[in-house]
């Protein structure tokens, strides 16, 4: 994941690693529909050479490796060696021999031109410090006619975010996110990701907004703990909360999340953006 120096320190920090380890099973369940939707959108074929940017702990790279079969290969790229170590363990547990990891910055891809048949990026293109440079780099390493496929967050005003970070913001005011910093909703405006792809030289650009399941298999206080752990861009806002206000805020968040609870599961939905472009 290519991010600014400040945000890189957050996203490569122990926050991201600890959250990944503690919540990896339930977070995988929550993101399962999104992962599968991106894999379906990318349409991998047997024998393809695929690059997955900002892979973190391994998805969708691992699912893609299963799809391309032993004749294909998937390279999972991320700035964090610790997260890629988790991805490697997960791949080995699945018996995948066509999967490798590579520590690198998306703005400086260490691959030759025309190396890959397909590229993917799940919930990370929003955090590239210089998105245009990263997309141009991606275009360079793709083969002619190859597609790059992205999944990004839609607007902040949706159940998962509004019932957590949105409630905190109502209590403390100020900036929701640091101006000029990491912004999960950078490409939520319709057409904005398409415009970036076009400027980077991609053609045959497609974009669509979908609402997909975003279910958490556990109680409200648990998913709130997970959200706080994984949402580094919101940390400056969270750090503004006076200690004596946390009990009331936590209670308000749990009450907001409970509206989506059915039995033992929190049934959120996620509004997300799918976009793709093809190298000329």
Note the pLDDT of residue 21: 65
Note the pLDDT of residue 219: 97
Note the pLDDT of residue 160: 97
Please, are residues 5 and 93 in contact by the beta-carbon 8 Å criterion?
no
Note the pLDDT of residue 8: 41
Note the pLDDT of residue 5: 34
DSSP state of 233: G
Q: H/E element holding 152?
A: strand 142-153
With a CB cutoff of 8 Å and minimum separation 6, the contacts of 279 are 139, 142, 143, 144, 145, 146, 147, 148, 201, 202, 203
Q: Taking Cα atoms as reference points, which of 229, 153, 151 lies closest to residue 185?
A: 153
Note the pLDDT of residue 24: 76
Note the pLDDT of residue 230: 83
Distances (CA, A) of 32 to 27, 38, 212, 270, 277: 8, 10, 10, 12, 24
Please, are residues 227 and 256 in contact by the beta-carbon 8 Å criterion?
no
Note the pLDDT of residue 22: 74
Note the pLDDT of residue 130: 94
With a CB cutoff of 8 Å and minimum separation 6, the contacts of 278 are 145, 146, 147, 148, 202, 203, 204, 205
Low-confidence ranges of the chain (pLDDT < 50): 1-15
Q: List the domains of the chain with CATH numbers.
A: 5-278 (3.40.50.150)
Euclidean distance between CA atoms 110 and 119, whole angstroms: 14
Query: End-to-end alpha-carbon separation of the chain, Å?
Result: 25
The residue whose two tokens read 């391309």 is: 68
Note the pLDDT of residue 25: 84
């Amino acid at each position: 994941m290519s991010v600014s120096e400040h945000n890189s320190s957050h996203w490569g920090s122990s926050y991201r690693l600890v959250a990944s380890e503690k919540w990896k099973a339930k977070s995988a369940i929550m993101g399962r529909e999104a992962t599968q939707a991106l894999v379906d959108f990318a349409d991998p074929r047997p024998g393809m050479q695929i690059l997955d940017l900002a892979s973190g702990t391994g998805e969708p790279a691992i699912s893609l490796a299963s799809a391309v079969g032993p004749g294909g290969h998937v390279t999972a790229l991320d700035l964090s060696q610790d997260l890629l170590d988790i991805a490697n363990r997960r791949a080995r547990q699945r018996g995948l021999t066509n999967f490798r990891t590579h520590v690198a910055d998306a703005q400086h891809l260490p691959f030759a031109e025309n190396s890959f048949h397909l590229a993917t990026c799940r919930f990370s293109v929003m955090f590239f410090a210089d998105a245009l440079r990263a997309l141009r780099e991606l275009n360079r390493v793709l083969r002619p006619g190859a597609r790059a496929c992205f999944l990004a967050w839609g607007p902040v005003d949706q159940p998962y975010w509004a019932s957590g970070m949105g409630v905190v913001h109502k209590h403390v005011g100020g900036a929701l996110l640091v101006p000029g910093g990491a912004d999960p909703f950078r490409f939520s405006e319709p057409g904005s990701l398409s415009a970036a792809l076009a400027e980077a030289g991609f053609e045959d650009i497609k974009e669509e907004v979908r609402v997909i399941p975003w279910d958490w298999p556990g109680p409200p206080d648990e998913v709130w703990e997970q959200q706080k752990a994984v949402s580094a861009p919101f940390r400056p806002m969270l750090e503004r909360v006076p200690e004596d206000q946390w009990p009331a805020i936590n209670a308000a968040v749990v009450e907001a999340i409970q509206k989506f609870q059915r039995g033992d599961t929190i049934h959120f939905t996620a509004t997300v953006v799918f976009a793709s472009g093809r190298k000329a």
